[in-house]
Amino acid sequence: MRESRTDRFFLVVTYCFLALALLIVLYPVVYIISASISNPKFVSSGEMWLFPKGLTFDGYKLVLENPKIWLGYRNTILYTVLGTLLNLLLTIPSAYALSRTDLVGRKLFLGLILVTMFFSGGLIPTYLVVKDLGLVNTLWALILPTGVSVWNLIVARTFFQSSIPRELQEAAQVDGCSNTRLFVQIILPLSAPIIAVMTLFYGVNQWNSYFPALIYLNDTTKYPLQMVLRQILVLQEMSAETTGAAISSDIAQAMNNKAEIASLVKYAVIIVSTLPIIVIYPFVQRYFVQGVMIGSVKG
């Protein structure tokens, strides 16, 4: 089929738009990678704006030698694994139960759950609840309050309603299959796409989370990696402010060097902290696409 002049013009405009969008999205990634292996003097002065300048791997060396970063890495992995497992344990069975039309009070439960998506208890009441439960300064303070995401629950419920045939469930029940056996042996094996999607959603959220740790944790040895990165950013800002003050040249030079080191480590930590997500994402990408399209097309 021969393309018309209008079609060719549309394709050119589309490719130009996609190329521009790619540049906008790709530039920050390239900049951070380049900054992590560039001399911090060129980064702070703006001489390095795309490709590395004054190539150095001292930032990664400092990251690998810093015990706080490794401790934060270990804590983040622990919080992410336990938190994601708890999220799946609560979300998948709840979503399946809400998808069953024979569940008594299904609409009432769903309505009450939806209310929490639009109206939260607030930061201070939530903190008081966590404190009264004795969870402050424990890993459970980071995991239990975010046990279920209502949005993810609705997405999973939609998957069960649109992708699991009702006739399959009825046939299993006719054969004498209990609800528990039906869920474990039939529903779960057919739910690999939504489980992968929920694992990705919850895992990324747990990995990038820092605010609950800021609120509930007092012990720095329990800080996740994102909190360690935040400390580095705060240190850099404080060093920059102090350097600009009216102080002696020796102290100013020392603080300036300290700020440059903090800047170098900052970009290296950003790369190190996002690397696991980047590595895992290709393996669940196809499930992620299926999860985004859940409920949009019903075959």
pLDDT confidence of residue 65? 81
pLDDT confidence of residue 182? 87
Calculated CA dihedral for residues 166, 172, 174, 180, nearest 10 degrees: -100
The domain covering 57-292 belongs, at the CATH homologous superfamily level, to MetI-like (1.10.3720.10)
Q: Where are the alpha helices (DSSP H) in 183-224?
A: 192-208, 211-216
For the chain, the structural domain boundaries read 1-56, 57-292
| pLDDT, tens only, 179-221 | 888 888 888 888 888 888 888 889 888 888 888 998 999 888 8
79 pLDDT band, cuts 50/70/90, is: very high
| pLDDT, tens only, 231-247 | 776 765 555 555 444 44
Q: Which of 14-23, 26-35, 214-223, 268-277 has the lowest mean pLDDT?
A: 268-277
pTM here is 0.78
| pLDDT, tens only, 43-72 | 877 788 888 888 888 888 877 787 888 888
